[in-house]
Chain A
Amino acid sequence: MIEAVGLHKSFGETHALAGLDFDVKEGTILCMLGPNGAGKTTAVRILTTLTRPDSGSATVAGIDVLRHPAEVRAKIGVAGQYAALDEILTGRENLQMVGRLYRVDAAAAKKRADDLLAHFELTDAADRTVKTYSGGMRRRLDLGAALMAQPPVIFLDEPTTGLDPKGRLSMWDLIADLARGGTTVLMTTQYLEEADRLADDIAVIDHGRVIARGTADELKRQVGGERLEVIVSDTPGLAAARRVLEALGEGPARVDEDDRRVSVAVASHDGVLTRAIRELDSAGVHVDDIGFRRPTLDEVFLSLTGRPAEETPEITQ
């Protein structure tokens, strides 16, 4: 449904995209995951006809983005990090205007705007100017605007950046609903949790290139399997806990003295937890917490790029 081949784009000395390739299948959510400046926004701007690449090609819903931008625009909805709304218009006026500009006829645009306002819990605020909206309300209205013409493909550029946890959760529900309804979604995010939660497929982007691709599980497997993790009550218990875990698991245990955390890779769950608890107890180790842990996408990102996902210098566009 979306396909990008060899996209390159430079802004002066900055190479925003350096040969970006990916595709998104119909009715699925692809999350582009990467730090600020990785090229995510540039990729979205190219696919939504807002920016032209220096080289490469792209199609959306089978239409060439560079050759037929106007036709592509009729098939897509776009919502972004900076809600593209008219502050002086009311929520309802914004939606109706966007609907009419999508060439939906006026009566249908009116009806659709009412439906979306209700669905996004904005009915009460519908006749207030957008200036008075909270961040979360703006994002929901922005997404509503993107959906006015019920387009088959939706682009969301960091749809939850800057939202509070409640706003983020309600946005996640709305996005998941879209894909269930058959819409193809390409979204970008800096939040690993978000990709983990929503994506059918994840493309990890760094320096304008896809450096890893797969489902959340596949990416986690790439970094290594499950670990048994113990947090001991006092530092002297660390050494004993380490001996117990190394006897149970595979390979050397990892010890984090500050967090009093010991972990070891395990091949299976079978009886491991009960044995661990029994043996830790008989070794006289007091345990605060114990359990299996799978690697987080944070760890995936760290192992793929050699640096954490969020502490990277910001390069805009």
Chain B
Amino acid sequence: MSGLGWWLRDSWEMVRRNLIHIKRTPELLLDVTLSPIMFVLLFSFVFGGAISVGSEGGQDASYINFLMAGIFVQTVAFAGIYTGVLLANDLQKGMIDRFRSLPMSQSSVLTGRTLTDLMRATLAIAIMWVVGMLVGFRPEGGIGGNLAAVAIMLLFGFALSWVGVAAGALVRTPEALQGIIFAAVFPLTFVSSAFVPTDTMPGWMRIFAENQPMTLVVNAVRDLTLGTNLYAAEVPSVIWSVAILVVSFPLGLWLYNRRTTQ
């Protein structure tokens, strides 16, 4: 078998291990099942009546139509970064030493981890999609548009899970990373177009909000799911995700290698 073949086989082996973990400790899925459902329901019912979104809410000009892209991207982003917590967890246990001493492809530990988290993100999207439809979400972007939206979200989530790998290899404990994620990712989701239109923000904040990757991905997903054409964010959002991936993938590998050969 070629190097690439072995790498794929080893990565699959790691995915299989992670899936067994999920099967035996289903609470590992709470962050991609229960939390997004709560977010959809809370935001749409609590804020829905108070926030006016105009044409950004699609044909119905409804808040739930506007909101769904934001909830999707927020969930996928958190699930992606959360890779770091799961990796930091693994790094505290002896299993990584076992992997290091085996003639396997060493990076497959990381690709297996990030691929599993891509599956977790896909599950989250499916659940939110159904819950959203139940409370009025009308994605009228057609099959092509909606599939493209999902692809853009997953690419963003995958890129962030490599940021998570880098962060997970840096921190001493998974708990420390949880705190950092909370402090870093929450502002990014709120100072974005995820939950409210950006045009009511003060000018300086608006400049940041409208150009940061979260907003661009949310806007692209919003246009594609609703079949609107307001932001032209598709290409910039993909560029952002690829740029994040190009930096965080080698950085994550390098930090992981450095951490595990101490």
Residues of chain A at the chain B interface (Cβ within 8 Å): 48-52, 70-71, 73-74, 76, 78, 80, 82-89, 93, 97-98, 100-103, 129, 145
Q: Is the CB of A48 within 8 A of B101?
A: yes
- In the complex where A88-B20, A100-B13, A129-B24 touch, is A49 in contact with B98 (Cβ < 8 A)? no
Contacting residues, chain A, for B98 (C-beta < 8 A): 78, 84-85, 98, 145
* B105 to A: closest C-beta gap in Å: 9
Per CB-CB distance, the 3 closest pairs between chain A and chain B, nearest first, are A84-B98, A84-B94, A74-B103
Interface assignment of B2: CB less than 8 Å from any CB of chain A:
no
Residues of chain B at the chain A interface (Cβ within 8 Å): 6, 9-10, 13, 16-17, 20-21, 24-25, 93-95, 97-104, 260-262
Contacting residue for B102 out of A89, A98, A129, CB 8 A: A98
Contacting residues, chain B, for A83 (C-beta < 8 A): 94
Q: Is the CB of B101 within 8 A of A97?
A: no
Q: Is the CB of A50 within 8 A of B100?
A: yes
- Interface of B (DSSP majority class): helix
Q: Is the CB of A88 within 8 A of B21?
A: yes
- Interface of A (DSSP majority class): loop
- In the complex where A48-B101, A51-B261, A74-B103 touch, is A85 in contact with B17 (Cβ < 8 A)? no
With A and B bound together, what is the CA distance between A107 and B13 in angstroms? 15
Q: Is the CB of B103 within 8 A of A102?
A: yes
Q: Is the CB of A86 within 8 A of B17?
A: yes
Contacting residues, chain B, for A101 (C-beta < 8 A): 10, 13, 99, 102-104
Contacting residues, chain B, for A87 (C-beta < 8 A): 93
What are 19 A-B residue pairs whose CB atoms fall within 8 Å in the complex?
A49-B100, A50-B260, A71-B103, A73-B103, A74-B103, A78-B97, A80-B94, A80-B97, A84-B94, A84-B95, A84-B98, A84-B101, A85-B94, A98-B102, A100-B9, A101-B13, A102-B102, A102-B103, A103-B103
Q: Is the CB of A50 within 8 A of B261?
A: yes
Contacting residues, chain B, for A70 (C-beta < 8 A): 103
Contacting residues, chain A, for B16 (C-beta < 8 A): 97
Closest to B96 in A: A84
With A and B bound together, what is the CA distance between A51 and B103 in angstroms? 15
Contacting residues, chain A, for B97 (C-beta < 8 A): 50, 78, 80, 84
* A168 to B: closest C-beta gap in Å: 20
Contacting residues, chain A, for B13 (C-beta < 8 A): 97, 100-101
Contacting residue for B95 out of A49, A85, A93, CB 8 A: A85
Closest to A52 in B: B261
